[in-house]
Structure 1
Amino acid sequence: MNQHDYISLRIINACLREDVGGLISKGTFTAEAGQHWLVYHGSQQTLRLAVLVSDYMQPWVAAHPHWQTQINGDWVVTSGYANWLAALMPDQHDETRQLFATYKEEADAAVVQGELCAAAFAQQAAHLAQPIAALNWGERLRHADQMASYLDHPYYPTARAKFGFSEADLRHYAPEFCQPFRLRWLALPRHQLTLTVAPARPGWWPQPQQVGLANPRYADYDLMPVHPLTLPHLTSLPDGAVIAPEGWLEVYPTLSVRTVQLADYPDFHIKVPLTMRTLGQKNIRLIKPSTLYDGQWFAEVLCALSDNDTLLRGQYRHVDERFCGHVEEDKQLAFLVRRYPQPRVGETLLPVAALGSRMPDGRLYLSWQLDQTGMPTPEQWWREYCQLMADVHLTLWLRYGIALESNQQNAVLSMAPDQALTLVMKDNDAARILPERFKAACPHLAERIAALRDPRICVSDDLALSQMFITITLQLCLAAVLENLAAAQVIDRHAGYQTLCAALENTLSRLDADGVDTAFARQQLFASPTQPVKYLLLSGSLLSKQASGAADINKFYGQTGPNFLLRGAE
């Protein structure tokens, strides 16, 4: 399937999943000669789409990247995402029509960039196929992010598009190409730059003379890193600020693109604002200064919890994200330095996003990892992984009232021969917390709740935590991985879901024994016929914030996904 048809099919399925334009709720379903059809009467045309029954994320999926349009009483085959979006575009609401039109441009970018990235994969096949033993710790981490970059987001159809990147930008700064470049630096009078924990500044942090600012007047200046692609957008600088004439620190892009790995200090990453949109037109990759403080809040709390909880102890380590900086509330002038914990012997750190990516020889990345002496079988690994995720995230949710937005990019696994699978936590600035439960479980930490800066973090009921757990941990980090493994015949799909259900039940039973109330979680996980689904396409691209009503475009849900856990519990 070519890139155009591939993106078209992903968009059609996302529209079915999110009921865009009332496709499901207003459409009718018929069956002819064993084929199911969805008939939809749009504002300007009637279409008929061949569909298949699904039990994962949505009740119906498209059978093909084309459909039929009724013209003068006849059904005419139609294809292409431009025609599909035009068929669903509403007659009214000019703003929504413009969003649909702009999304077509994002789809165009996804097609072009998908072709470029496929070419990059082919060109770098020999490098990507190196044996694990040939790579040091930092190279393994970079390799894992690069491999993850070749696998599309499971649910957002045009995640391949780094909207705002040119072809040259991709080649220089995208993880699929993984080319080194030098960071740029902004020099500011010391009073202009707020540092979160100044003593945590790493020893390699540059001085003004190292970036071409040798004049003595810069002795009282501090430096902050800037991505080269952000420089042209810094049109209004603080008083006295100067863009350093020389770059310094060779870095590599990571999966997030705006976070880079230092070539000479690979255990250090730097996160910088980037004028790029991913996962939706409204999702620009800048840094809100408040997130620097909220992320550190959760880092400290998570470490404190793991020290004292038997279900959490030894299950995860947290990166050091203390050293950050920002200029007032400017989202373009902020940074975060991340240092990974001391490596374990033989360790590979990898984002969950890499697990289902195809290696040059056709194997999944997970299979490549497990093909080392001292590693478990795929079935053993899956059991261990399910139990790890259940123990960590169900305990945080039900005992402490915390749900982490630890998606496939942020969920980092530590794998090492003959050692238990563990997590490395990072980037937890968008979590949700139920204050009453947290305070009851951790009275010695209760007063810290007042220090959280984003008002959206504190929620008033269990539903918000349930939605976060199901859409992030369960769907993205567990079910999406299982679907990839099963499609590649690495493990059996039905057995995999049974293993997942058993892990969830095991953790819930242990929490029950500790007196934790698990009734609501059991109802949501094992009794509800449907699951919440993130409506990423609607909230991120096709609807205005006013139309969706979503306070956070990454947390806009519909209760429309078939509950795949019911199948696993059979």
Structure 2
Amino acid sequence: MSMRTVAVADDPLTHLKLPLTTATLGLRNRRTVKPGTLLDGEVAQRLTEAVIARERRFADTVLLADETTHLHAGHELLATLVRRYPPGLENAQIVPLAGLLARTPDGTLVADVLAERYYGGDLFALLDAYLTLLFDFHTTLFAYGIALESHQQNTSLVFDDTGGPGAPRLRLLIKDHDGPRVHAIRLAVMIGGADAADLCGFDDRRILTGGDGPVADVFTTITVHLCAAALAFELAALGRAPLDVLLRRLRARLTEAVERTGAVYPGAAAAVLRARVLDADRLPVKAMVTAGTLFTKARSGAADVNKHYVTGPNYLLRGRGR
């Protein structure tokens, strides 16, 4: 899915996202670049930056690719996103989340190589540090009414040794900002109505919602399923630890983040996450191929191929003994 993005040879921190006349994950999930998504990515970036500016603990732990430069001629095949990565990463190790469980040429897991280099060989220390940061950031965004489409292809881990021996610095690097869900009312409560309105100029009005449900669906399917649980299930399949042990660890880190959200931020955000994620009998599951190929929109009822869901059992309940 990333083959429509190219790096500039003379400037490796600049990438160009280009349209392709092809489709993946369903006939209607086309790899073109609609001009409206360019604007939406810029607006979502500015919105996320506004939250980070208010929540200063993320200033040094969450990096955003700059996607405010783009070109189009009013056609989805005549458009380009210019993505610039933050400066100062020359001495950092940057690994897409999707690559953690890939194999190096000698067969070692990439995650094991990183754990050996930065965490004294303790893979689960790396996993704990990552899950703690991931859930802290995304539950905070949820408290503002925001859920990002920052799945394991759009999220990278940035490692460096600036913390000194035995104290690595871990950061998140997020790109491809279009496609969030934003609860406009909750956002207005958190940052003020006028400021919220200035940060919500999305072209795709489906991004804005009047309730927590669509935001919780994106939080669950992206942050929980793809960025966290996928690692747990695969590590269990590789025999690194029993699945129940890994899910207890995942649930513990998520519970800590939800409890922190409830203690720090006003409103019902924490209660929503407990009810719809931690304690729900079933969780939403993306059904992109169904919505994009197998059924017509009239049959599936999908308003958005990328945000069409069925449900499945809540595996997080195994982390509390159910």
Q: 2:293 is paired with a residue of what secondary structure?
A: helix
Equivalents in 1 of 2:118, 2:225: separation in Å? 31
Q: TM-score normalised to the size of structure 2?
A: 0.92
Q: 1:266 is paired with a residue of what secondary structure?
A: strand
Equivalents in 2 of 1:376, 1:303: separation in Å? 34
Q: Please give the residue correspondences for 1:103-502 in structure 2 after superposition, counting only pairs within 5 Å.
A: 256-310=2-56, 312-328=58-74, 330-344=75-89, 346-372=91-117, 377-397=122-142, 399-417=143-161, 418-443=167-192, 445-502=195-252
Shift of 1:310: 4.8
Shift of 1:314: 2.5
Question: Which residue of structure 1 aligns with residue 164 of structure 2?
Answer: none
Equivalents in 2 of 1:373, 1:478: separation in Å? 20
Letter in 1 for 2:304: D
Q: 1:551 is paired with a residue of what secondary structure?
A: coil
Q: 1:366 is paired with a residue of what secondary structure?
A: helix
Q: 1:423 is paired with a residue of what secondary structure?
A: strand
Gap regions ≥5 residues in structure 2 = 162-166
For the Cα contact (< 8 Å) 1:267–1:339, is it kept in 2?
yes
Shift of 1:277: 1.3
Equivalents in 2 of 1:449, 1:310: separation in Å? 19
Equivalents in 2 of 1:538, 1:412: separation in Å? 28
For the Cα contact (< 8 Å) 1:327–1:334, is it kept in 2?
yes
Shift of 1:548: 1.0
Equivalents in 1 of 2:91, 2:199: separation in Å? 38
Letter in 2 for 1:469: F
Q: 1:321 is paired with a residue of what secondary structure?
A: strand
Shift of 1:456: 0.8
Shift of 1:504: 1.1
Equivalents in 2 of 1:495, 1:363: separation in Å? 22
Gap regions ≥5 residues in structure 1 = 1-254
For the Cα contact (< 8 Å) 2:5–2:16, is it kept in 1?
yes
Letter in 1 for 2:109: L
For the Cα contact (< 8 Å) 2:42–2:68, is it kept in 1?
yes
Equivalents in 2 of 1:362, 1:263: separation in Å? 29
Equivalents in 1 of 2:245, 2:18: separation in Å? 42
Check 1:433–1:264 CA distance in 2 against 1; reply closer, same or farther (3 A cut).
same
Letter in 1 for 2:189: A
Equivalents in 1 of 2:121, 2:59: separation in Å? 22
* Aligned-pair Cα RMSD in Å: 1.8
For the Cα contact (< 8 Å) 1:403–1:433, is it kept in 2?
yes
Check 1:514–1:493 CA distance in 2 against 1; reply closer, same or farther (3 A cut).
same
For the Cα contact (< 8 Å) 1:311–1:395, is it kept in 2?
no
For the Cα contact (< 8 Å) 1:435–1:449, is it kept in 2?
no
For the Cα contact (< 8 Å) 1:379–1:491, is it kept in 2?
no
Check 1:429–1:419 CA distance in 2 against 1; reply closer, same or farther (3 A cut).
same
Q: 2:83 is paired with a residue of what secondary structure?
A: strand
Question: Which residue of structure 2 aligns with residue 562 of structure 1?
Answer: 313
Shift of 1:359: 2.4
Deviation by residue 1:239-293 (Cα, 9 ceiling, x = unmatched): xxxxxxxxxxxxxxxx611011122211110011011211112111001101111
Equivalents in 1 of 2:120, 2:9: separation in Å? 29
Q: Please give the residue correspondences for 1:497-536 in structure 2 after superposition, counting only pairs within 5 Å.
A: 497-516=247-266, 517=268, 518-536=270-288
Shift of 1:506: 1.1
Deviation by residue 1:525-557 (Cα, 9 ceiling, x = unmatched): 222111111112211221112211111111111
Check 1:425–1:309 CA distance in 2 against 1; reply closer, same or farther (3 A cut).
same
Q: 1:314 is paired with a residue of what secondary structure?
A: coil
For the Cα contact (< 8 Å) 1:378–1:491, is it kept in 2?
no
Shift of 1:515: 4.0
Q: 1:371 is paired with a residue of what secondary structure?
A: helix
Letter in 2 for 1:273: P
For the Cα contact (< 8 Å) 2:43–2:200, is it kept in 1?
no
Letter in 2 for 1:543: F
Q: 2:222 is paired with a residue of what secondary structure?
A: helix
Q: 1:270 is paired with a residue of what secondary structure?
A: strand
Q: 2:221 is paired with a residue of what secondary structure?
A: helix
Letter in 1 for 2:110: Y
For the Cα contact (< 8 Å) 2:147–2:218, is it kept in 1?
yes
Identity of aligned residues (%): 35
Letter in 2 for 1:528: A
Equivalents in 1 of 2:59, 2:184: separation in Å? 22
Question: Which residue of structure 2 aligns with residue 30 of structure 1?
Answer: none
Higher normalized contact order (CA 8 Å, seq sep 6+, divided by chain length): 2
Equivalents in 1 of 2:171, 2:110: separation in Å? 18
Equivalents in 1 of 2:200, 2:236: separation in Å? 45
Shift of 1:393: 0.8
Shift of 1:370: 2.4
Letter in 2 for 1:439: A
